[in-house]
Amino acid sequence: MNVNNRLRPTIFLTATVMNTVLYAMLSYATSYIESPWGAGQFRPAVIVPAFFATIFGPLVGGIGAALGTLIADSLKHAQLYAGSYLASAPGNFIGFFLFGYIANKKFSWQKFIIASEVTLLFANALVAFLYVYIFKVFYLADPKYMGMSASTQVFFSLGLTIWWYVTMLPFVLVVTPVLIRAASSAFPLIVSERIQHSSLREELPLKSFSLAMIIPGIFMIVLGLATSLTSLGLFMQTYFGMLTFTLVQLMFYLSGAVLTGLGVLFYFRKILLRKGN
């Protein structure tokens, strides 16, 4: 960073606290919007630890994300929530530590895209499987989850992973870069020169950024078609009921259309901007 070494511990502590508080507040604000599976929250607030992990590094991103999600979950449940410290907090710490590690190692927008994809897939899968197996099955011995077959438990965990991934990805890829560029302009002394000198317009890889949304979008649509045209739909109706099946099916189609549309829109918008220049 471009700051005096004596200030680094202060900046580290301040950034970690800000990351924690902002992530907790924004996560709590959407904590009552659940996934179609009846578990797992809508959390666009992931832009906060993604931003702090990029600007201030892995530890600030990971610690703030872990503490922030623990606070938000505990406020929602009016107690120190075991589901958070057994699943959400560890997954958030590992995920955003990894995000910061990838993004900060000779920063480029290509690496930012890689960090987004890897983190959201790996960390969300980790949280989902910890939630189902460690919290629900092992810790609570929840009859609903204990009564599921092994394949249904895996399917449920993958369903949560997909939900978080497709609802977080557009926010991280679209909103976070704008916040990073704004911080680079407003606070140049605390942002690395490599990030400051990067240009969204000139350096953000057009195809990579677009494909990062188009490919998952198409995958979601294919999954939606699979629930409509194959035995996967019957499997879901049998184990999760018609309401959950309908909501999940809508999630596949709508999220697929939105991700694909955003990717295509960005691609052609960037082409037009480049031609205009």
Following DSSP, what letter does each residue of 57-111 receive, concatenated? -HHHHHHHHHHHHHHHHHHHHTS--HHIIIIIHHHHHHHHHHHHHHHHTT--HHH
Report whether pLDDT(77) > 80: yes
**Higher local confidence (pLDDT), 145 or 270:** 145
Q: How far apart are the C-alpha atoms of 184 and 176, rounded to whole Å?
A: 12
Q: How far apart are the C-alpha atoms of 166 and 250, rounded to whole Å?
A: 13
* Domains of the chain by residue range: 5-200, 205-277
Predicted confidence band at 202 (pLDDT cuts at 50, 70, 90)? low
Phi, psi of 41, deg, nearest 5:
-105, 155
**Chain length of the chain:** 277
Q: How far apart are the C-alpha atoms of 17 and 266, rounded to whole Å?
A: 34
Question: Residue 36: in which H helix or E strand, if any?
Answer: none
Using a pLDDT cut of 70, give the percent of the chain over it: 91
Q: How far apart are the C-alpha atoms of 272 and 106, rounded to whole Å?
A: 29
Nearest alpha-carbon partner for 61 in 28, 23, 26: 23
How do residues 111-162 score in pLDDT, each as one tens digit?
999 999 999 999 999 999 999 999 999 999 999 899 888 988 998 999 899 9
Q: Helices in the chain by DSSP H: which ranges?
A: 8-29, 47-56, 58-77, 82-83, 89-104, 109-129, 143-146, 150-186, 193-197, 200-203, 206-229, 231-276
Nearest alpha-carbon partner for 44 in 58, 20, 28: 28
pTM, rounded to two decimals: 0.86
Which amino acid appears at position 135 of this protein? F
Q: Residue 233 contacts by C-beta under 8 Å, 6 or more apart in sequence? A: 226, 227, 245, 249
Average pLDDT over residues 189-215: 76
One CATH from 3.40.50.2300, 1.10.1760.20, 3.40.430.10, 1.20.140.10 for 5-200: 1.10.1760.20
- Identify whether the C-beta of residue 160 lies closer than 8 Å to the C-beta of residue 40: yes
Report whether pLDDT(104) > 60: yes
The DSSP 8-state label assigned to residue 50 in this structure reads: H
Task: Give Rg (Cα) of the chain.
Answer: 20
